Amino acid sequence: MPTRAALVFALLLPASAAAQQAAAQPSPTPPPAASDPAAPVAPAEDKRVFGVLPNYRTAESAVPFAPITPKQKMTIAAKDSFDWPLFLTGAAFAGLYQIEDQNPSFGEGLKGYAKRYGTAYGDQMIGNMMTEGLWPILLKEDPRYFRLGTGTVPRRLWYAATRIFVTRTDAGGTRFNFSEVIGNSVATAISNAYYPDTRDVRDNVEKLAIQLGTDSFSQVAKEFWPDIKRKLFHRGRSGQDGPQQ
């Protein structure tokens, strides 16, 4: 568990540091709006965070809320479950589990890694389908992450990291994120069918914590990615617009 916790922290720290630098930079002045300037407009959705992580369920808090249909919830869940970066995530967790020799009955070498890869991918896929599709439909909750986009870095970091416990309902209100917690708990219970050596209470609590921690990190990345992207692209354009000889 300490090794995996260190991995999540190692992933989160660079994103937070980059976000703090990006948020400190003044935003470029937007052009005058052609229509009502007071009406917030949803920006074009970026399908990749850091060019890799799936970003199919991010919405802007400033835009008036509109619920999504059950079909849209299942579409979001399917895209997040079968998009190619999830296979890379499964490979990373499988490598970590191989190093830790988790579930020794899987064995070592390529055969052991293949089994760990399949189960690690299964954890992510089942968790996504449960937390973004099935349970949000049953409980009438919205699986999207509503990006704050403004405010101090600590406030936005806290907001993003804690959305695994707070969600919006289809009616537009807020409440405890039952879909996230119940969905990942069910996914953890299902995983006992294919994890022969990690089926006790402690193991299940650890697996649930990994699922929640991964989702929390994902939302922090989604919160700050537009700031980081703007800083990187602004720096690139500044270099290109330098003095000409």
pLDDT tens readout for residues 174-212:
999 999 999 999 999 999 999 999 999 999 999 999 999
Residue 90 falls within a domain, yes or no? yes
Is residue 7, in this structure, part of any structural domain at all? no
Residue 21 included in any domain: no
Q: Is residue 5 part of a domain?
A: no
Comparing 26-35, 56-65, 220-229, the range with the smallest average pLDDT is 26-35
Q: Is residue 196 part of a domain?
A: yes
Q: Which two tokens stand for residue 146?
A: 């509503």
| Total domains present in the chain | 1
Query: Exposed (0-12), middle (13-18) or buried (19+): which is 72, by Cβ within 10 Å?
Result: middle
Question: Would you state the pLDDT for residue 46?
Answer: 65
Q: Answer with the residue of higher pLDDT: 245 or 141.
A: 141
**What pLDDT, in 10s, does the model give residues 138-149?**
999 999 999 999
- Mean residue pLDDT of the chain comes to 82
Task: Please indicate, yes or no, if residue 172 is contained in any of the structural domains.
Answer: yes
Residue 86: the pLDDT is 85
Domain coverage including residue 76: 45-233
pTM, two decimal places? 0.76
- Cross-strand partners of 176: 166
Concatenating the DSSP letter of every residue in 104-159 gives: GGG-SHHHHHHHHHHHHHHHHHHHHHIIIIIHHHHHTEE--EEE--SS-HHHHHHH
| pLDDT tens profile 46-104 | 676 766 677 889 999 999 999 999 999 999 999 999 988 889 889 999 999 999 999 99
State the residue for tokens 């660079």. 14
Tell which phi-psi region holds residue 28, choosing left (phi > 0), alpha (psi between -120 and 50) or beta. Answer: beta
Instruction: Specify the DSSP element, H or E, that contains 215.
Output: helix 201-240
pLDDT value at position 236?
Answer: 53
pLDDT band at 6 (very low <50, low <70, confident <90, very high): very low
CB 180 within 8 A of CB 215: yes
* Residue carrying the six token digits 């079909």: 71
Whether residue 119 lies inside any domain: the answer is yes
